[in-house]
Amino acid sequence: MNYYRERHCPARGEAPACLVPPPSGYRVPVPWPESLHKIWHDNMPYGKIAERKGHQGWMKHEGSYFIFPGGGTMFPDGAEQYIEKLSQYVPLKTGVLRTGLDMYSVIFSSLKVASFGGFLLKENIMTLSFAPRDSHKSQIQFALERGIPAFLLMLGTRRLPFPAQSFDFVHCSRCLIPFTAYNGSYLIEVDRLLRPGGHLIISGPPVRWKKQEKEWNELQVMAGALCYKLITVDGNTAIWKKPAEPSCLPNENDVGLDLCSTDDDPDEAWYFKLKKCVCKVSMVEEIAIGSIPKWPDRLSKPSARASLINNGTKLFEVDSQKWVKRVSYYKKSLGVKLGTTHIRNVMDMNAFFGGFAAAIVTDLVWVMNVVPARKPLTLGVIYDRGLIGVYHDWCEPFSTYPRTYDLLHADAIESLISDPICDLFDVMLEMDRILRPEGTAVMRGSPDVIEKAAQVAQSIRWNAQVHDSEPESGSTEKILVATKTFWKLPLTSR
């Protein structure tokens, strides 16, 4: 089940304490939205991909750039035409759908470098693409360089690091994921992630694919056992709709599907083994497609899942108002370049309810909301708002390539290093790896911790300033605003 390609981290003390230099010829990335269509060639260490895949229409090498026309094996007429085709069956342009998961699998896939998700941004749909680390193509690195939400991930032996009922649709175009293998574990995981009333879209194998009739039949049987409704089979594209009601299981089915025990928490997803049973989930009808507000109304309204947390609805309102004020302070008083072409890819390292991301939603950015795995599992509320994110433990490296984010935001930084095995230096070294040259880090915390952070910032070549928190807050908290310098290795060191 691809265990060898899943996330593996070095033991404490084994990771090298070093800075990752940019490649020779690296430049500050092309700004958004121009980056959707072209990026600097020398920023990407994989040039042969364009030579091998240029005939497929989704990527070309022209002069100093990689160009992305928007085609590909599964949409030779372009991603936009493919989306128009899907829109006949899936409400992609009405605000009903907001969050999507775009799945890729192994290196044999044709891989459109997230063009599907990139073009859906025009419809205010936030699609998170994932694929495994791959030295041959590194499609996720290309996607992030373009300013498209993407994440390094492998569907193998563990649950994906997302909450249950989070994505409004799941899309697979030639992803080559064997959904019905391993007793259907992969399709069961997709079912866990798909919001009630959501859509499953599979284009390419095995849908009406020559020599894959058995796999295609098994997929239809298993989807039927989950009571998914087959909306259409258009060429090699199949679209199902998940019921908006509680699971129809237990039922009589030919694939042995049954419900998990009541002690299974469907939202647990950090190093959590895949199961061969279907999760029992709560609040199905309250958070189903059609029940939650359309975008953008869902952004500002507390979801039913917020009420599962003690005083959650009130906390939601307070958190939202707090971050509107804080973001205004960042922009007007601290000089953080939010709302400009300098910042596109943003990460909130301690997101809680996603209030920071909601406060900058009108800026030309997308935000990866990270909920620490040892904290209350609030990520479901973030997805109900129409935002995206992942679970993560900041004692470990984040699943992304170097130089992929323009701004890193860490509220209550001390809470990320409260575990005895975590160290502020290690966390900031990882932040440096993730941050692009000339990128910005904003850290909030107690005066003692921020003072230490300022010392670490100097040691890793950041230009940093420490500021007081918002005057009206009455807090003793300090804010560190730092810029990662654009340094290069001397020629003799390369």
Nearest Cα neighbor of 137 from 166, 170, 107, 173 is 107
Domains of the chain: 27-241 (3.40.50.150), 297-493 (3.40.50.150)
pLDDT, position 108: 36
Kindly state the tokens that stand for 129: 């693409």
pLDDT, position 282: 86
Distance between CA atoms of 294 and 396, rounded to whole angstroms? Answer: 36
Taking only Cα atoms into account, the Rg of the chain, rounded to an integer number of angstroms, comes to: 22
Three-state secondary structure call for residue 7: coil
Cβ neighbors of 214 (< 8 A, separation 6 or more) are: none
Give, for 432, the enclosing helix (H) or strand (E).
helix 424-434
Kindly state the tokens that stand for 325: 């004020």
Nearest Cα neighbor of 330 from 318, 317, 343 is 343
Q: What is the pTM of this model?
A: 0.95
Nearest Cα neighbor of 348 from 294, 394, 302 is 394
pLDDT, position 113: 52
Asked if residues 300 and 362 have their Cβ atoms less than 8 Å apart, the reply is no
pLDDT in tens, the chain (494 residues): 666 678 888 877 788 889 999 999 999 999 999 999 999 999 987 655 656 555 555 678 899 999 987 655 555 667 788 899 999 999 999 999 999 999 875 433 334 556 788 889 999 999 999 988 765 457 889 999 999 999 999 899 999 999 999 999 999 988 889 999 998 999 999 999 999 999 999 999 999 999 989 999 999 999 999 999 999 999 999 999 999 998 888 887 888 899 999 899 999 999 999 999 999 888 999 999 999 999 999 999 999 999 999 999 999 999 999 999 999 999 999 999 999 999 999 999 999 999 999 999 999 999 999 999 989 999 999 999 999 999 999 999 999 999 999 999 999 999 998 777 789 999 999 999 999 999 999 999 999 999 999 999 999 999 999 999 999 888 899 999 999 999 988 876 55
**Burial readout 418-451 (b: 16 or more C-beta within 10 A, e: otherwise):** eeeebebbbbbbbbbbbbbbebbbbbbbeeebbe
Amino acid at 88: Q
